Amino acid sequence: MKSQSERLNERLEEQLQARRSTAISGKQHTRATSRDDEEINDLLEIAQYLQSTPHTQVDNQFAQRLERRIRAHAIHIQQKRASRPWWQRLFVLRKQIAVASLAICLLLGAGTVAIAAQTAPPSSPLYLIKNLEHKARQALAPSQLDKAEQIQQGIRNQLKVLKTLANPAQEKAYNHELLSLEHQLHLASQLIDEISDPNDRNHANNELSRLKMEVNATLHDLLPMLNHSEQLATTNELNYQGAQVLHLKNATVMISTSPHPQATITITGESFQPGAQLFINNQLQPATGMLQNGVYIFTLDWNGEQQPVTIALRNPDDTLAQTTMITFSTDGTSNENRNPEKSGNGDNGSSNGQGSSNGGSNSDGGGNSDGGSGSHSSSNGSGSGNSNGNGNGNGGGKTDTASSKSHHK
């Protein structure tokens, strides 16, 4: 069976012979033509035109050279493709697959970054992505209940971040994250109060209560790993969340008058535990306290150089609290919040007397004063008293409830 090209060639030859015969005899035969005959007629016209115009004929040598070049170029392309890596061939041959693969990689990369940002510390560049994602979720939340749930999920993520920051080297970042945690808890409570449906509001309040218990438990677990300032901030946060933790109200420091002065420190507050440690100006003191009737009493040697600006107490559970409400007493003189320095001089010849007063001061010049006058000052001031010995006394300093006498012999 002949192919279509062969049949067309035969038909073309027949038509050419018929046209030549018609041209010689001058007769024209007419018959019904089919579609194939029309196509053959078109080809005959093209062939006759090419035969009648020799300059359009193809040069055989040129055609052979062109064919060799085309084949050589095709072989070169095949060899070049074969030398490429498989992934380059895949990219060239399957561009759609390559674009789809790139899109999948971008999605996976973005998802990985988003997951890593959930536990990123404030010092990490991913922390900004975390905040943006959290704000976007809150903005897209359709209701107050959904917003509250988003915030609570963010708080759980913050607890994971706090665990990674619980070391002295990350003190600033830890305190920053702890402050942010407090803000988010307060914001969640506000959003829950704005929920109109009572059932939803009760459900959200129960969830928030469980979350606060989780927060308190986590903060308690972190206390042993924190330094002094971090323990103080964490205890304050626990107190803010309603936990029963150590709290100091005030402290009294009384110095004994002996060759080796000792200080008796009395601390009042709440939630004391036996075995608490004493800190003065953030320095641990080698003293053991006694817990009596809800008051802690410490006794320790006093070197006279310490200035009690802050007094802190740390329970065995590592909760730490401090106070600056300190009353300092020594030699009948007391001062709140600081150790006073006062001096007074009386002159009768070469005699000197020292004293301090917040009330009245008397100076005697050889006995009891006949016509002496006492001076009164409430803060920094001076007073003078006249006596038979012409003694003058000056008192200066800041006191609250002190009185003194100077005697001249």
172 plus 189 within the same structural domain: yes
Say if 393 falls within a structural domain. Answer: no
- pLDDT reported for residue 367: 39
Same domain, 219 and 299: no
| 35-52 vs 4-25: helix crossing angle, rounded to 10 | 70
For the chain, 409 residues long, give each residue's pLDDT as a single digit of tens: 666 667 767 777 777 777 767 766 655 554 445 556 677 777 777 777 776 777 767 778 888 888 999 999 999 888 877 776 666 665 555 666 767 778 888 888 777 766 666 656 666 666 666 666 666 665 655 677 888 888 898 899 889 989 988 888 889 989 999 999 999 999 999 989 988 888 989 999 999 999 999 999 999 999 999 999 999 999 999 999 889 999 999 999 998 877 788 889 999 999 999 999 999 999 999 888 999 988 999 998 887 666 789 999 999 999 999 999 999 887 655 555 544 433 344 333 333 434 333 333 333 433 333 333 333 333 333 333 333 333 334 333 333 333 333 333 3
Distance CA 254, CA 263 (A): 5
**Residue 328 counted as domain residue:** yes
Judgement on whether residues 158 and 184 belong to the same structural domain of the protein: yes
- Amino acid code (one letter) for 261: P
> 181-196 in b/e burial notation, b at 16+ Cβ within 10 A?
bbebbebbeebbeebe
Asked if 266 and 252 touch (Cβ cutoff 8 Å), the reply is yes
Indicate whether 192 and 274 sit together in one domain: no
- Residues 228, 251, single domain; the answer is no
Q: Among residues 336, 353, 388, which one ends one of the domains?
A: 336
Helices (H), 95-197: 95-118, 126-140, 144-165, 171-193
Please report the pLDDT score of residue 314 as a whole number: 95
270-276: Cβ within 8 A, 24+ apart: 270/246, 271/244, 271/245, 271/246, 271/247, 271/315, 271/319, 272/246, 272/296, 272/313, 272/315, 273/246, 273/315, 273/316, 273/317, 274/316, 275/315, 275/316, 276/246, 276/313, 276/314, 276/315, 276/316
Number of structural domains found in the chain: 2
Answer yes or no: do 287 and 320 share one domain: yes
309: number of Cβ within 10 Å: 14
- The reply to whether 81 falls in a domain is no
The pLDDT, as a whole number, for residue 72 is 92
Q: Is the dihedral of CA 140, 142, 143, 149 positive or negative?
A: negative
Q: Which one of 195, 218, 239 terminates a domain?
A: 239
- Are 354 and 341 contacting, i.e. CB atoms less than 8 angstroms apart? no
Do 207 and 284 lie in one domain? The reply is: no
Q: With respect to residue 403, please indicate whether it lies within any of the assigned structural domains.
A: no
**And the tokens for 206?**
């129960």
- Determine the structural domain holding residue 202 and report its residue range: 119-239
Q: Do 281 and 199 share a structural domain? A: no
320 contacts 231 by C-beta, under 8 angstroms: yes
Shared domain for 258 and 233, answered yes or no, is no
Looking at residue 407, its pLDDT comes to 36
Q: What is the pLDDT of residue 355?
A: 39
Say if pTM beats, i.e. exceeds, 0.75. no
Give the separation between CA 313 and CA 284, rounded to whole angstroms: 9
β 363-365/406-408 pair status: parallel
102: left (phi over 0), alpha (psi -120 to 50) or beta: alpha
* pLDDT at residue number 399: 35
Residue 148, in any domain of the structure: yes
User: Within a domain: residue 74?
Assistant: no
Residue 274 pLDDT: 93
Instruction: Say whether both 289 and 233 belong to one domain.
Output: no
Residue 102: predicted pLDDT: 81
- Give the span between the Cα atoms of 372 and 294, in whole angstroms: 48
Give a yes or no: residue 108 inside a domain.
Answer: no
Examine the fold and report which residue of 336, 351, 385 is the final residue of a domain before the chain moves on: 336
Whether residue 12 lies inside any domain: the answer is: no
Measured CA to CA, the distance from residue 122 to residue 130 in angstroms comes to 10
235 and 124 belong to one structural domain: yes
- What's the DSSP call for residue 313? E
Single-letter amino acid, residue 125: P
CATH number for 303: 2.60.40
Q: Cα 270 to the chain's mean position, in Å?
A: 32
Rounded CA-CA distance 173/162 in Å is 9
**Residues 160, 126 share a domain:** yes
